[in-house]
Amino acid sequence: MADGIETRVFDDAEALAAAVAEELCELTERHTRIPFTIALAGGSTPKRLYELLASDPYRERVRWKDVEFFFGDERSVPPDHADSNYGMAKRALLDHVPSQGHRMVAEQGDARGYARLLSERIAERRDGVPVLDLVLLGIGDDGHTASLFPGTAALDEHTRWVVMNDVPQHHTQRMTLTYPILNAAERVWVLIAGAGKTAMVAECLAAAARHETPRPILGVRPTAGELVWFLDKAAAGR
């Protein structure tokens, strides 16, 4: 464990996705508060997790009507666009289970509306902030997570839960959850697979051990919840 970050390592990306699917099923089975709220992530590793959850035996183990989905971030594209996180999650999971999913309408820029939705749908609070039961995240090659990119204004947001974040390195603007709501979550699971992430994982874990936060992912530190990084062996390196 590196300064509060629990790490779990699996043989490959498939084993990682299966382990997370199993743990998520067990979590929903023992959870009593309704709805069970999950913020979904984009990316290939979460996509495989969603596909597994939508298939047997996992699909039969979850009370999907008691689960409500939100999103950690979204690109400014319509839901049928190839780059839409919602579109990916819809095809992989939401079309196959009777859960309610709340899309971020990033192309309209209504971050305030999404924050209002979170406030209305999530009753539990931690220091006044809605408490998501589970947040799924990934990590980019530059250490970004959700759409919290290096050098962007959203990294310094301390009050708003959702913002439209200008990302000049990608010539775009994206909607994203911010640290206040990410760190109020009951659980944050970061899914990381592939040799392309090895160097960034090593850098981040070393920085965390020194109590440094040079990359956006290291700003995700739940104040009272758990933080687990699920890695495959390729991403974990040594």
- Which residues constitute the domain of residue 181? 6-236
Mean pLDDT, the chain, integer: 96
pLDDT at 33: 84
Residue 46 included in any domain: yes
Q: How far apart are CA 18 and CA 132, in angstroms?
A: 22
- Look at the chain and report how many structural domains it folds into: 1
Length of the chain: 238
Q: How far apart are CA 165 and CA 62, in angstroms?
A: 34
CB 56 within 8 A of CB 25: no
Q: Taking 60 as the threshold, does the pLDDT of residue 1 lie above it?
A: no
The percent of residues above 90 in pLDDT, for the chain, comes to 96
Residue 212 included in any domain: yes
pLDDT digits (tens, 9 = 90+) for 69-110: 999 999 999 999 999 999 999 999 999 999 999 999 999 999
Give burial (CB, 10 Å; 0-12/13-18/19+) of 198.
middle
pLDDT at 116: 98
Residue 196 included in any domain: yes
pLDDT at 2: 65
pLDDT at 38: 98
Average pLDDT over residues 150-155: 98
Closest-CA residue to 73 (of 157, 177, 153): 177
Q: Report yes or no on whether pTM surpasses 0.75.
A: yes
State the DSSP code for 159: S
Q: What CATH number does residue 75 fall under?
A: 3.40.50.1360
pLDDT digits (tens, 9 = 90+) for 24-76: 999 999 988 899 999 999 999 999 999 999 999 999 999 999 999 999 999 99
Residue 85 included in any domain: yes
Residue 1 included in any domain: no
The pairing of beta strand 36-40 with beta strand 73-75: unpaired
Average pLDDT over residues 188-212: 96
